[in-house]
């Protein structure tokens, strides 16, 4: 089968703060990824005030940027363009005149998203980049803040408030220093507004909160740094309530221009981040959430995915964790049949050893082993030498939506130890929880034996039957022919196996 | 044009110490790389002694390994196999009986390389992975040591001596501790033998020494560590005579099993490295060389390249630096026309600004700028976010034969700063020499402006004409149509340009 043609979709997002163009490439449903991005800090809502009218200077900046974006799409060979505007333009009294000028100048049709549509795309991004099934999606931009109530992965209630970071800053925290009184007024305003969504208070303990948008990501980076955690992005990071409260206290104590001194707070967010943090705190308070789970996907990914998954309605990837592992694997040249066969052999040994009582057989651990199996060789794209280290680098840096940073770290380390060395977490240790060293030992050992059984990459070892007798594990290799390479290679892994399972490993061959 | 078919060549190298199988993949002459490797520490020459006969136990180990290798080649779908044996087997009195047994058991035809052929492939590896034109190639293995005299990139004299690391250790340094007397005896032996090659003493100051083989690489790693240099491989590293002398003193002071305590010395080389170092020292002394330039390529790469470049005789890549940059660029999915166009724009600005007297216009700097231009986007394979950092990672880790570590570091840093940030060497600083910060500032600025002129990746900006007037540089963009994206994007780089060239940058458009 010929590989599917690569197509490019541009999503243009005219936000209250920044105008942004993102290009997504996809090969059918095999893989997709972001491949280009340009942006301009237009601040179109600057100086709008109570009149609700876009001002001449910001409008000129906006039209210039839109023109550049339109040229970019034509020049860069994009197959499809989706341009949307959100709250600042949506609510401007002179929006129609502005849109007409934008169309005349650039030829672009701009779709002004309703509050509901905007929230919907945020919801699509969140449920396709996390394992959220029941709870709330929070999306905070410059102009507005949306909450979507999610039940069984479906969107139930949707609410949108004009409580974006720019709006709340201008209204409640306009001065360099935020007084206690001002902060209290903002907190009260948020609480009062949120009371309009009574379902929020009724979410209960089982419900999770997933957040998206630049402010959420910035706060997550700051919390990671405050906790001195190794960071390779904030996808899946859990921003805990206590950590958010501490950040707010730290930010509020500083004048706005100096908030950038808090590690992780970028200069361009320095003046808006405090208001955003207080709004998020209000949502956590109102819904009784202990943590906000962060996703790096947002409105733009939501729009792209809705297009990509159409006509599915709602546009849901059936298995987020599986899809993101397969998506990453498919982006590399690695030998897919080999990787799948290795993953299959590793999982079958995992299951047999669990059935024999040699380990707990935790399903989450099984997921990680499978993911590492599929991804163990992607590093060969960088260089054959040290490709286990390169696989780890690629896994950590590309990220795996649906997994927490700890889980991604474990997948990376399992892949890193698929050839040699004594499994350890190294500089990712701060992410570990109790039992992770044993998990890493088990998964590395199984992946390593499976890799060696598939050393010639020809799938001749169909299966490896596990027989546990007293102090040893006998692995019977099932194949149609003799498999001296597999046997030779797998025998070298007895030490790592013994370390993980406390049994010696013996390899035998049996005819299929 | 359809991309050339990918072919796989296995080179099996039956050395005195280790048997090794390496698989090379190539797509015509577009790119090649190592994609797989298995090895077995057979030590076939163990216990041979003066009788010169391969002993039963090592022979059995050897036959077992050969059998596994042959199975591997059949199973792994290799298109072509080249199996060679070097000095231990070549010089064994029972070699024919051994080869017949190997053929009967594995079906492999093993080509026993003559001393001259062995040296020739080492020479092919060296001249195609370094810029050596005149000098000597040194190749030291377990059994023998070869020197090839190179003049105008051609091989002139070739000599081979039975002075490999295993042989010299067994004969001169058999004890746990190396006495001064033993070391002196080895040094004298080497000097006496090298006198057989009178051309060595006549090389003169212009001649360079390039070394290959596992012992050479190990000593280079140890020297890098001793000098506290950042390391991403030893390709192109210059091991200086003084550093080698110090390593020898350090190694000789330790009993053999403890030599692994010297940072960089792997346990499996602990007992052989001292003899190898003394032999290399003897060559440097005899030829009056100040430094040994290290290449990671060796016999196996030489055999592969000779096959790949056939029928060229001698098999020489015309431009090693250019070929290795193009080879790396071609391995990634990045947009080639874009990369070439960016490199072209950057070089044309480089030349014009040099002609206007704004910088020295050093040809080596120009090479680095070109290389960074061709490679600046390869990191998009990892992830669009931070792809400038990923490009740097890929460049440093894949390596670029023909460039020194300092040059590779500079190429990596130029690519790393092709989008944003203030150019700096970061943790690669110890590799810098005087003037490198200015070089990095200039090249990063030019690459960044060129990248922005090609921001839409459509090659509409044909050229950028540089006009220098008083305190400013005017860049006239030559295009068939309006290029608002290029102009918009390039204007953002005026600060980095000003920092590098001390002139303000102004962008104008002119019709082609």
Residue B4 has pLDDT above 90, yes or no: no
Task: Tell me: do A382 and A498 sit in the same domain.
Answer: yes
ipTM of the complex: 0.83
Structural domain includes residue A234: yes
CA distance B192 to chain A (A): 38
In a domain, B308, yes or no: no
Whether A386 and B397 lie within 8 Å, measured CB to CB: yes
Structure confidence at residue B63 (pLDDT): 96
Chain A partners of B456 at a C-beta cutoff of 8 Å? Answer: 71-72, 75-76
- CB of B189 within 8 Å of a chain A CB? The answer is no
| Structural domain contains residue B1 | no
User: What is the arithmetic mean of pLDDT over A380-387?
Assistant: 90
A260 to chain B, any CB pair closer than 8 A? The answer is no
Instruction: Verify that A104 and A123 share a domain, yes or no.
Output: no
DSSP H helices in A402-454: 405-416, 436-453
Helices (H) and strands (E) in chain A, counts: 18, 14
pTM of the model: 0.89
Cα distance between residue A157 and residue A117, in whole Å: 12
Residues of A in contact with B394 (CB under 8 A): 382
B75, A458: Cβ pair inside 8 Å? Answer: yes
Q: Are residues B220 and B252 in the same domain?
A: yes
Residue-wise pLDDT tens digits, B104-128:
999 999 999 999 999 999 999 999 9
DSSP per position, A116-181 = HHHHHHHHHHHHTTS---SEEEEEE-SS-EEEEEEETTEEEEEEEES--HHHHHHHH--SSS--HH
Q: Give mean pLDDT, residues B233-248.
A: 97
Q: Which residue, among A75, A85, A67, A62, has the nearest Cα to A11 in the 3D structure?
A: A85
Contact indicator for A284, A140 with CB cutoff of 8 Å: no
Q: Which three-class secondary structure state does DSSP give residue A208?
A: strand
B284's tokens: 């440097």
Inter-residue contact B344 to B461 (CB < 8 Å): no
Any B CB within 8 A of A401 CB: no
Collapsing DSSP to helix, strand or coil, A28 comes out as: coil
Same structural domain, B189 and B81:
no
Write down which residue in A113, A133, A149 finishes a domain.
A113
CATH number for B387: 1.10.3210.10
Is A383 close to B399, i.e. CB distance below 8 A? yes
- Chain B: nearest CA to A318, how far in angstroms? 24
Question: Is B35 in the A-facing interface, judged by CB distances under 8 Å?
Answer: yes
Name the band, by pLDDT with cuts 50, 70 and 90, for residue A294.
very high
Q: Looking at the domain assignment, is residue A313 inside a domain? A: no
Same domain, yes or no: A16 and A151: no
pLDDT at residue A424 is higher than 60: yes
Q: How far is A342 from chain B (nearest CA, A)?
A: 15
- Average of pLDDT values for B276-305? 97
**B145-151 and B135-140 strand pairing:** antiparallel
Residue A229's CB is within 10 A of a number of other CB atoms, namely 14
Q: Which residues of A touch B485 (CB under 8 A)?
A: 68, 71-72, 75
Domain edge (last residue) among A300, A330, A348: A300
Using CA atoms, how far apart are residues A447 and A341, in angstroms rounded to an integer?
11
Which of B491, B386, B402, B496 lies closest to B153, judged by CA? B402
A31: tokens are: 């893989």
Specify the pLDDT at position A5.
82
- Tokens read off for A315: 């546009």
B397 occurs within a structural domain: yes
Dihedral sign from CA coordinates of A280, A281, A285, A289:
positive
Q: Name the 3-class secondary structure at A97.
A: helix
CATH number, domain containing residue A198: 3.30.420.150
Last residue of a domain, one of A269, A300, A331: A300
Place of tokens 């706060």: A219
Indicate the angle between helix axes B405-416 and B436-453, nearest 10 degrees.
Answer: 40
pLDDT value at B1 more than 50: no
Residues A58 and A176 in one domain: no
Residue B398 has its nearest CB partner, among A76, A383, A399, at A383
Give pLDDT tens digits for A43-94.
Answer: 898 888 788 899 999 999 999 999 999 999 998 889 999 999 998 899 999 9
Q: Answer yes or no: do B331 and A381 touch at CB < 8 A.
A: yes
Which own/partner contact pairs does A248-254 have at CB distance under 8 Å and 24+ positions apart?
A248/A274, A248/A277, A248/A278, A248/A281, A251/A277, A252/A178, A252/A183
Interface test with A, best of B12, B41, B71, B385 (most A CBs within 10 A): B71
Q: Do A122 and A106 have their domain in common?
A: no
Q: Can the peptide bond before residue B167 be classed as cis, meaning omega within 30 degrees of 0?
A: no
Asked if B162 contacts B91 with a C-beta cutoff of 8 angstroms, the reply is yes
Specify whether A242 is located in the same domain as A367: no
Q: Which domain holds residue A206?
A: 116-300
Same domain, A25 and A137: no
Domain membership of residue B199 (yes or no) is yes
Query: Domains in chain A: how many in total?
Result: 3
Do A283 and A405 share a structural domain?
Answer: no
Question: pLDDT per residue over B210-225, tens digit each?
Answer: 999 999 999 999 999 9
Cα A453 from Cα A77, distance rounded (Å): 45
Decide if A383 touches B, using CB distance below 8 A: yes
Which pLDDT score is estimated for A1?
A: 44
> Is the CB of A484 inside 8 Å of chain B's CB atoms?
yes
Using the beta-carbon criterion (under 8 Å), do B76 and A393 form an inter-chain contact?
no
Which helix H or strand E contains A490, and what residues bound it?
Answer: helix A484-491
pLDDT digits (tens, 9 = 90+) for B31-42: 999 999 999 999
User: What is the spatial distance between Cα A60 and Cα A70, in angstroms, rounded to a whole number?
Assistant: 15
In a domain, B154, yes or no: yes
B369-402 tens-digit pLDDT? 999 999 999 999 888 989 999 999 999 999 899 9
Same domain (yes/no): A420, A292? no
Closest CA to A20 of A37, A45, A8: A37
How many other C-beta atoms are found inside a 10 Å radius of the C-beta of residue A509? 16
**Beta strand segments in A361-503, E:** 461-469, 472-479
For residue A506, what are its two tokens? 């013996």
Per the domain annotation, does A107 fall within a domain?
yes
Q: From chain B, pick out residues whose CB is under 8 angstroms from the CB of A332.
A: 381
Contact status of A76 with chain B (Cβ, < 8 Å): yes
Q: Tell me: the pLDDT tens digits for A186-206?
A: 999 999 999 999 999 999 888
Binning pLDDT at 50, 70 and 90, where does residue B2 land?
A: low
Q: What is the pLDDT of residues B32-70, one digit of tens each?
A: 999 999 999 998 988 887 888 999 999 999 999 999 999
pLDDT tens digits for B429-445?
999 999 999 999 999 99
Q: Rounded to an integer, what distance in angstroms lies between the CA atom of residue A73 and that of residue A81?
A: 7
Q: Is the pLDDT of residue A311 over 50?
A: yes
Residues A204 and A350 in one domain: no
| A34–B384 C-beta distance less than 8 A | yes
Buried b (16+ CB within 10 A) or exposed e, A276-309: bbbbbbbbbebbebebbbbbbbbbbbbbbbbebb
Q: Is A2 on the interface with B (CB under 8 A)?
A: no
- Burial state string for B287-301 with b = 16 or more CB within 10 A and e = fewer than 16: bebebbbbbbbbbbb
């Amino acid at each position: 089968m010929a590989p599917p043609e690569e197509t490019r979709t541009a999503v243009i997002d005219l936000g209250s703060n920044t105008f942004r163009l993102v290009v997504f490439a996809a090969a059918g449903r095999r893989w997709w990824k972001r491949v280009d991005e340009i942006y301009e800090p237009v601040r179109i809502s600057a100086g709008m005030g109570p009149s609700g009218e876009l001002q001449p200077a910001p409008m000129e900046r906006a039209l210039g940027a839109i023109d550049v974006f339109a040229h970019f799409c034509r020049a860069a060979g994009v197959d499809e363009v989706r341009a949307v505007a959100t709250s600042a333009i949506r609510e401007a009294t002179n929006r129609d005149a502005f849109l007409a000028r934008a169309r005349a100048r650039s030829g672009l049709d701009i779709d002004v998203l309703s509050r509901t549509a905007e929230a919907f795309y945020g919801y699509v991004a969140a449920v396709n980049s996390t394992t959220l099934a029941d709870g709330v999606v929070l999306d905070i931009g410059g102009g507005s803040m949306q909450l979507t109530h999610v039940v069984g992965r479906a969107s139930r209630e949707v609410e949108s408030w004009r409580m974006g970071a720019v709006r709340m800053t201008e209204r409640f925290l306009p001065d360099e220093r935020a007084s206690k009184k001002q902060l209290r007024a903002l907190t009260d305003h948020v609480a009062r507004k949120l009371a309009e969504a009574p379902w929020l208070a009724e979410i209960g303990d089982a419900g999770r909160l997933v957040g998206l948008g630049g402010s959420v990501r910035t706060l997550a980076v700051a919390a990671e740094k405050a906790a001195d955690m190794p960071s390779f992005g904030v996808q899946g990071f859990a921003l805990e309530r206590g950590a958010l409260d501490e950040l707010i206290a730290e930010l509020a104590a500083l004048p706005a221009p100096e908030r950038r001194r808090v590690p992780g707070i970028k200069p361009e967010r320095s003046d808006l981040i405090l208001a955003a943090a207080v709004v998020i705190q209000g949502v956590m308070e109102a819904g009784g959430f202990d943590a906000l789970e962060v996703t790096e996907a947002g409105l733009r990914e939501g729009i792209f995915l809705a297009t990509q998954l159409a006509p599915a309605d709602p546009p849901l990837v059936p298995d987020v964790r599986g899809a993101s592992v397969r998506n990453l694997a498919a982006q590399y040249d690695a030998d897919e049949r080999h990787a799948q066969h290795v993953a299959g052999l590793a999982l079958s040994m995992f299951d047999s050893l669990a059935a024999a009582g040699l380990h707990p057989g935790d399903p989450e651990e099984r997921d990680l082993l499978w993911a590492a199996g599929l991804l163990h060789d992607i590093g060969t794209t960088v260089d054959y030498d040290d490709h286990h280290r390169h696989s780890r680098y690629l896994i950590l840096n590309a990220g795996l939506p649906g997994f927490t940073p700890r889980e991604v770290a474990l997948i990376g380390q399992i892949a890193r130890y698929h050839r040699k060395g004594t499994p350890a977490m190294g500089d990712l240790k701060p992410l570990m929880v109790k039992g992770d060293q044993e998990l890493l030992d088990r998964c590395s050992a199984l992946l390593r034996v499976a890799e060696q059984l598939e050393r010639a990459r020809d799938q001749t070892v169909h299966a490896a039957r596990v027989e546990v007798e007293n102090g040893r594990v006998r692995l019977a290799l099932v194949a149609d022919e003799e498999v001296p390479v597999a046997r030779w290679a797998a025998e070298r892994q007895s030490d790592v196996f013994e370390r993980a399972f406390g049994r010696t490993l013996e390899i035998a061959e049996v005819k299929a």
